[in-house]
Amino acid sequence: DSGVTQTPKHLITATGQRVTLRCSPRSGDLSVYWYQQSLDQGLQFLIQYYNGEERAKGNILERFSAQQFPDLHSELNLSSLELGDSALYFCASSRGADYNEQFFGPGTRLTVL
Amino acid sequence: AQSVTQLDSQVPVFEEAPVELRCNYSSSVSVYLFWYVQYPNQGLQLLLKYLSGSTLVKGINGFEAEFNKSQTSFHLRKPSVHISDTAEYFCAVRSNNAGNMLTFGGGTRLMVKP
């Protein structure tokens, strides 16, 4: 158990819908990262937040957005969902903004029908 | 830009045999290198990391990896595998100039047979 929690574990929804994925980092970690794992794209970095502020951005679509709240949990919002958004979404956390070790949560499996 | 190539998508091996999972990276600056393991229906767990110093890095579960700067490689090895090592293994790189984001390879599925 990494100490990173993600909810829900599974999510099934329809095209065009909007969903919110939630992540709670390890106690004491200030950075949260979101990654997407899909069969065709592999594991891709989406976005990083550090202490409430966006720190780095990767291959995140405009339809996707994220935020980190004062209690340091983070939410990833996915809107206008398409079939191709079906994937495993991982959250990871680390102590600082540039701290090397990231601890991964169990993931949320999103299925878009 | 940085990239990671894992040369084998699947590696079948018999129990108690040695195994090497290959990883090559490209980056124009200094890098930090990682190997993660993903067991079925689970998240990623850090196996080992190279930040600096000795090029031979030892990790958990008897795994080790060697950083070779001239060949831009970071191959993962284990002298004797167990059935429980069956999993997906990911090599990842973080460059000095890329924040703390990790760039992952495509993964190698290690299949240990009895």
For B18-67, give the DSSP string.
Answer: -EEE--EEE-SS-EEEEEEEE-TTS-EEEEEEE-SS-SEEE-GGG-EEEE
Neighbours of A109 (CB within 10 A): 16
Write out chain A's pLDDT in tens, 113 residues: 889 999 999 999 999 999 999 999 999 999 999 999 998 889 999 999 999 999 989 989 999 999 999 999 999 999 999 999 999 999 999 988 776 789 999 999 999 99
Between chains, do B100 and A104 touch, taking CB under 8 Å as contact?
no
User: Range with the lowest mean pLDDT among A46-55, B62-71, B98-107?
Assistant: B98-107
Helix, strand, coil percentages, rounded to 5, for chain B = 5, 55, 40
Say how many CB pairs under 8 Å bridge A and B.
56
Side chain identity at A62, as an amino acid letter?
Answer: E
Round to whole Å and give the CA distance between B27 and B8. 20
Contacts of B36 in chain A (CB under 8 A): 104
Contacts of A42 in chain B (CB under 8 A): 104-107
Contacts of A92 in chain B (CB under 8 A): 44
pLDDT in the model for residue B95: 73
Give contacts of B 69-108 with A, CB under 8 A: 90, 94, 98-107
Round to whole Å and give the CA distance between A29 and A32. 8
Residue B98 has pLDDT above 80, yes or no: no
Closest A-chain CA to B94: A100
